[in-house]
Structure 1
Amino acid sequence: MSEGQWWFCLKHMRVEPDQGCPNKDRMGPYESEQEAAGALERAAARNKAWDEAEEDQD
């Protein structure tokens, strides 16, 4: 396993190491390449949970 931080690039829709696109275009950092690869799925799940929590408050 490689050392360093990993990012998910929103511009290119791929995992990148520290040396990549500007951070403004990326999600992260993550401790592993696998964790970065799941960034969009985790964000979607969190957004869904927040939306459902807001609906419950209404």
Structure 2
Amino acid sequence: MSDEGHWFYCLKHMRVEYGPGCPNKDRMGPYDTEDRAKHALEHARERNEAWDAEDADQGS
């Protein structure tokens, strides 16, 4: 997949990037919009919390 036309969140620099940028190992994405990339860490945290809750429910 080409990086052109996509947004990413760089974990090394803690900022949004558009198109080619830092190596993929250092960033999250691709995202279709700058706003989605800007909130990448928040969305990841929400998903992790939901998965943790599911795991806790299955362990009961």
| TM-score between both structures, scaled by the size of structure 2 | 0.88
2:19 corresponds to which residue?
18
Q: CA RMSD in A?
A: 1.2
Q: How many residues align?
A: 56
Counterpart CA distance in 2 for 1:53 and 1:19 is: 36
1:32 corresponds to which residue?
33
2:48 corresponds to which residue?
47
Counterpart of 1:18, as a letter, is G
Counterpart CA distance in 1 for 2:40 and 2:13 is: 14
Secondary structure of 2:29's counterpart equals strand
Counterpart CA distance in 2 for 1:52 and 1:21 is: 33
Structure 1: segments with no counterpart, 5+ residues? none
Counterpart CA distance in 1 for 2:26 and 2:8 is: 10
CA deviation after TM superposition for structure 1 residue 19, in Å: 2.0
| TM-score between both structures, scaled by the size of structure 1 | 0.91
**Overall identity of the aligned pairs, in %:** 62
Dislocated runs of 4+, deviation >6 Å = none
